[in-house]
Structure formats: C-alpha cells, structure tokens
Amino acid sequence: MLGYVTRRILVMIPTLIVISALVFIIIQLPPGDYFTTYMNELQSQGEAVDPAKLEFIKQQYGFDKPMIEQYFLWLTGMLQGDFGYSFEFSRPVSEVVGDRLWLSFVVSFTTILFTWIVAFPIGVYSAVRQYSVGDYTLTFFGFLGLATPNFLLALVLQYAAYIWFDTSIGGLMDPKFIDQGWSVDKALSILEHLWVPVLVIGTSGTAGMIRRLRANLLDELHKQYVVTARAKGLPPGKALVKYPLRMALNPFIADIGNLLPEVISGAAIVSIVLSLPTTGPMLLNALQSQDMYLAGSFLMFLATLTVIGTLLSDLALGMLDPRIRLGGGAAK
C-alpha cells in the first residue's frame, strides 16, 4: 500500500503544478488588472486618483514584476499559508474566504447528506423492484429532478417558504442575525432557511445518483454469481447486500473526488439566486472585478481539494473494490 500511496501522490505533483500555472495564466488573461479597473471606475464617478499612489500600490503587490516572477511569488506565498491580498475586500484572502467557508460547508455538507440518504434507498428499491409501479413513480420524479433548472426551483421554493412558513426571502438566516454573534436563535434561523438551498442543490444530484445506483445494481444483480447464489438458496437480503450492493456502491465512493470541492465551493448560481453568503458568489465577484489573488487562490484551493478527493476516493475504492488484475499474464 505504501508504494501505491507514494505513486499516487507523485501523480498529484505535476497535476497541481500544471493547474496552478493554468489558473494564474487565466486570471492574468483579461486586459488590465484590479487597479486599472478600480481607477477607471473612480474616474467615471468624477473622483480624482493619484497616479503616484496607484504606482506605489502596484509596486507593493509586485504588479510591476514580470508574470513568471509574480507566479512564483504567489506559489511560494501559498506554501507559507499566505494566499495573497484581496484588493476588493482590503483584507487577506484567507480572512475573506474563512468568513464564508463554514457557511458553504454547512450548506454543501447537508446537501451531500440529503443526496445520499434519499438516493441510496430509492436506488436500491428501483433496482430490486425493476419495472414495478414504485420504480416507475420514483423514476418519474428522478427525471423531473434532473430536468428542472435549479434556479427555477429556487425561486419557486423561496416563494413557497415565504407564503406558507413566513420565512424571509434569500440568505441563510433572518437579516437581524447577520452581524450578530452565535446564539440558539441564530442557529434555528439558519435551520429554518437551510432546507430551501439543500433541496434545490440536492435535487438534481439525488436524481443522478439514483439513476447511477439503479443501473449499477441492475448490472450486478443480473450477473451469474448472483443467480448461482440465489439458486443455492442464499437468503435474498444476503444475496443483495453481500456483493452486488457493495459493487454498486462504487459511484458513491468515486464521487468523493468531486464532493470535496463541492463542499467548499457551493453552487454558485443557486447561491446568487438565493442570496446565500457562501463562497460561490464570492468567486464570481472576484473574477468579475479581477481580484486576482482572491480568485486565483480560491480556484487553486478547489483544484487541490479535487486532487486530494480523487486520491481519497481511489484509496477507498481500493479497499471496497477487490483488487483483481484484469487480463492474464504476469505483472512486471
């Protein structure tokens, strides 16, 4: 296993280096920089801008240096935990992201739990009772979930929550709690608002997961070893859980690679529609205003989580999925 882990980590190194270079290049691609945009904005409002001061700030943050030098400064800074400075928020990136990170985590983690808790039993039921009324009904709702645009569902549910439950529109808590410290009332207010984004973000994921689990389990249930197990009189529950279900769980495990960045990034469009104070809208704003360190560091953070998630899912798959070498012949 040690050899496997070291090889997988070695694969991560070039991946992350290439991603970091790509992220930096893409962030730098639009003409101008944050200060140019900011200066133009101020000038359009008729405010005076001191060019000397602007030049001083540019020098301070290394904007006058060649791109390759800026890249290495950014990279070595990140290795020391310094993700740069957000010009828009006038605060270090780590502080800006940190504020929203945990709210994103709450929304996304609850969504993942919702997806798994709902998808797992429905997927198993649909596969075991294939072509039954229950299967058709659940499949119908599954397709409905896949086909409904998230932002539309978000608007409908916000309206419904306001009309029937008197929940304030938008946000993750009532406005009066936004700048307050933590209290039971604030936590309850978050819980009151949480179900809408969880349902909206989770619906399509749940539907997709049900379809994949159903298809995978059906594949396994039609294999000869299951037929033999049944023919030999193995109880149906054991004949389902012992191997077919374990094999069909692979998509859940393989999804960990995608889940980790999702937990942090949240769904940007839904977050904007629902005015959620998560990291998705923050990334969009940073990209629009060319707040390069905030956008770049956050994208790099997401890429690192994706790579780590893939490593974790590979390790978990290795344990869950029996390691059988496919194809004959001796290994090297």
Partner 1 sequence: MIHSYPLKSLYGDYVRTLIGLVFMGVPFYFAFPNLFMTTIFGGLTLLFLVFGIRTALRHVTAIQTSPEGIAVVGLVSKRIAWSDVAKVDLKYFSTSRDKKSKDGWMQLKICDASRCLKMESNLSGFEQIVSRVAAVGFHNGAEMNETTVENFTAMGVTVDLPDEDEGDG
Binding stretches for partner 1 (CB under 8 A) = 1-11, 13, 76, 79-81, 314, 317-318, 322-332
Q: Which is nearer to partner 1, 144 or 227 (CB)?
A: 227
Least Å distance, CB 171 to partner 1, is 31
Q: Which is nearer to partner 1, 19 or 284 (CB)?
A: 19
Gap between the Cα atoms of 225 and 238, Å rounded? 13
Q: Which is nearer to partner 1, 67 or 79 (CB)?
A: 79
Gap between the Cα atoms of 52 and 60, Å rounded? 12
Q: Which is nearer to partner 1, 82 or 135 (CB)?
A: 82
Least Å distance, CB 42 to partner 1, is 36
Q: Which residues 6+ apart lie within 8 Å of 277 measured at CB?
A: 100, 103, 171, 172, 178
Q: Look up residue 131 and give its DSSP letter.
A: T
Gap between the Cα atoms of 266 and 107, Å rounded? 7
Q: Which is nearer to partner 1, 70 or 168 (CB)?
A: 70
Gap between the Cα atoms of 123 and 218, Å rounded? 10
Least Å distance, CB 303 to partner 1, is 16
Least Å distance, CB 301 to partner 1, is 13
Least Å distance, CB 327 to partner 1, is 5
